Chains A and B, each alone.
Chain A
Amino acid sequence: MILRVARYELLQGIRPVFWYLAQASLVVVIAMFFVGMAKTDVAVIEAWWTERPPGTIALVDQGGVLPPRLKREGEHVLRFGRRISLRHPVRSFDTAEAALEALGNRQVMSAIILQEDGLWERTVPRTWLMAPSPALEAEIVRAVHVEYQVAAGNLSIETAKAGAAPAVVEVRLAENRNTPSQWALWVVAALFALAQLTSFAAATGAIEAEVKYNTRSLMLSAVRPFDLFIGKLVGRSAEVILLLCVWWVVVSLLIFAGPATQPVDLSWMEMVGAAMFTLMGIALYACIGGGMVLLDPRGGETVLPAILLTAGLPVLFGMAQGVDGTLMRVAQFIPSSATLAATIRLLLGSPTSTEVMWSGIVWTCSMAIALPVCARLYMVGLFARTSLGLSAIAEAFGRPLR
């Protein structure tokens, strides 16, 4: 019976032809936004060696925050090879030299690494992977794993201090050459997050139907209320997954036809993980949205924005700070935003396996609580004969509903 309800709800969701057009055009708009960003000229700092002892690198800010500091003699001279302290990393950060503090606070930043044979650059999220030579890369990776990491690029302060070499710095406007290979990932991340939040609206639309169209008694005479609830959630979640598939096709077409011809710097594991968290988020948000909407006398006008803000705000603030920043890490442990944050970080950042695992645990616990509670709330709303207040809800939890 659940599947019959689910099939109907899926067809209800996708029946209008313009649905496909609207979803596809949405992807194009989002993609154009990111491509536009990619094509915007940015301030680029280029640096040349004046002197480079063996085993040194230069770290240069593309975002334009550091030039005044780096230009000052001495502040950018950071020798590789100093002893790395594993103790009191935060204090080390606080007492770091001005240039490095700025470097650490700068979230969206590309580092450009100079070698003797010219300019060599890598993109933002994988800063710690850049190195002028395999040996130096290995050293940085090792250091990053054991040291306090600077939020921007996952470089430890000590590593950064030790890795920089004297450089001549020049600021100029240039095309942002880093982004084209990454824009597709931003589009995918945006769509994955959007899909999760869309499941709210999809589920509430289905749940509200019984009240809106006066079909409560008719449906409940044919289907058990819990089966009806689950069927609706499954159907509308399937609709959102189908929506994702449409988006995926459009994004793939854009990738092949558009500027992102460079390979995406993302492993299959990360992509699969992000997709998994997206599905988990769709299920959770559909469940919460579906459970809450009938409690709102104004048909979701009050409840839904509140839920969306609860889920979206931590991630929005986190994104402003940086995908691997503290806020995003915290958002990964907040039940309402765990799947969103984990999805975005898997695509655009560098979450540790422990962080990903904890997000999964948070989701599991959230789902284990949300599903029975929301099903109960749904039934309270469905059977309620008076307007619902907190006292009515509390009472409904303490007695048989039917």
Chain B
Amino acid sequence: MQVEIQDLTRVYGRGKTRTVAVRDVSWVAHGGEVLGLLGPNGSGKSTMLSVVLDILRPTEGQVLIDGQAGANSTYEFKQRVGYLPEERGLYRRDTALQAVSYLGALRGLDRKEARERAHWALDRVGLSEHKHKRIGALSKGLAQRAQLAAVIVHDPSMIVLDEPFSGLDPVSLRFVRDLVVELREEGKLIILATHRMDEVEALCDRIVLMHEGHMVLYGPIDQIMSKWGRRVTMDAQDKPEGLPAVESVHRTPHGTTVMLTEGATPEDLLMQMCASGLRVRRFRSHTSIEDVFVEIVRNPAEAA
């Protein structure tokens, strides 16, 4: 399955209450990969997912499923998708088995098949002993696992997980992470929206970085890291121009950004600066997505 978003804009409200949640975003994701939607709260990640799943309609732009515009509003598409929304919830009066069976039935399974698959899904998420307990009686972590079972019960080819790591204990966190890896290995397309940068770095093949409704960065994570990982921000008295490790230097309101030459490391630069007598008050190398994100948010023109 391939999902493509073209020039997507989504606006809430009118007049004084008008808010642009997502502005002119485009990306594409393929089966067998994990696409990470990254960004702080309110950056438009959940809105974008709601549009992909046809819960919300786009104000402008379109969603293409396997190249077909509007295919996301069909029941055929809905039955190929598993969704873990940010607002967690199952009918608390149901047992885990009933809740997962019902959602399986809504995703196109017949009654008997839905029940059999619900057993399988609950076993897979480690809820074998809690199948017949009411959702309301389960702990938060176990209820979230039940919800994960509902995501995979119908063997979807696309899985959308909105903040799947929030509120989980370390054991459940590891479990969700392993599940995502397994599902990717099964060839499923996984879209992961989160503000947990560390998880994205470990799990995603491609990322979309969102900030205040704008897409500020998009691409394969290794390319992004190789590009942004060669950046260093510093607060130095003089520009470190002419040093062997420096490719280019830019002044920003927050200091100086240096692009390293290929093969050079931040340590090389620091040593060369010390050797040449440059005084450095602050020195930071971008070795994680979080660093990249902070840098981009501080200096969006640079990202562009």
- Shortest C-beta distance, B44 to chain A (Å), equals 14
Which residues of B from 189 to 248 have beta carbons under 8 Å from A?
A: none
By beta carbon, the residue of chain A nearest B103 is: A222
Instruction: Assess whether A218 is in contact with B85, with CB atoms less than 8 Å apart.
Output: yes
The residue on A at minimum CB distance from B84 is A218
Interface size on A, residues (CB 8 A): 24
CB distance from B227 to the nearest CB of A (A): 35
Q: Would you call A262 an interface residue if the criterion is a C-beta within 8 Å of the partner chain's C-beta atoms?
A: no
Binds A, one of B34-42, B52-60, B263-271, B292-300: B52-60
Known: A1-B75, A4-B106, A214-B87. A400 touches B14 (CB 8 A): no
C-alpha gap A219/B147 in the complex (Å) = 12
Closest Cβ of chain B: how far from A395's Cβ, in Å?
7
Within 8 A of B (CB), among A353-402: 383, 385, 395, 399-400, 402
Instruction: Given the known inter-chain contacts A213-B90, A213-B91, A214-B88, please indicate yes or no for A221 contacting B12, CB distance below 8 A.
Output: no
| CB closest residue in chain A, given B59 | A400
Asked if B27 is an interface residue, CB under 8 A from chain A, the answer is: no
Bound Cα distance A209, B147 (Å): 16
Interface positions, chain B 60-110, Cβ under 8 Å from A, are 73, 75, 78, 81, 83, 85-93, 102-103, 105-107
Report B-chain residues with C-beta under 8 Å of the C-beta of A178.
none
Say whether B12 contacts A209, CB under 8 Å. Answer: no
A-B contact count (CB 8 A): 62
- A221–B89 alpha-carbon span in the complex (Å): 13
Q: What mask results when residues 206 to 228 of chain A are scored 1 for a CB within 8 Å of chain B, else 0?
A: 00010001111111111110000
Indicate if A20 sits at the interface (CB-CB under 8 A): no
Please classify the interface of chain A as helix (H, G, I), strand (E, B), loop, or mixed, using the class held by over half of its residues.
Answer: helix
Q: Give A11 Cβ to nearest chain B Cβ, in Å.
A: 9
Whole-angstrom CA separation of A385 from B17 in the bound complex: 12
- The verdict on A218 contacting B83 (CB below 8 Å), with A1-B75, A4-B105, A213-B91 known, is yes
Across the interface, do A221 and B53 meet the contact criterion of CB distance under 8 Å?
yes
Q: Check if A8 sits within 8 Å of B102, measured CB to CB.
A: yes
A218-B150, A221-B81, A222-B106 given; 13 more Cβ-contact pairs under 8 Å: A4-B106, A12-B93, A209-B91, A213-B92, A218-B85, A218-B89, A220-B53, A221-B85, A222-B103, A223-B78, A385-B12, A399-B14, A402-B56
A-B contact pairs, 26 of them (CB 8 A): A1-B75, A1-B106, A4-B105, A8-B102, A8-B105, A12-B93, A209-B91, A213-B89, A213-B91, A214-B87, A214-B88, A214-B89, A215-B90, A216-B87, A217-B55, A217-B83, A218-B83, A220-B53, A221-B78, A222-B78, A222-B83, A223-B106, A224-B73, A383-B56, A400-B57, A402-B55
Chain A positions near chain B (C-beta within 8 angstroms)? 1, 4-5, 8, 12, 209, 213-224, 383, 385, 395, 399-400, 402
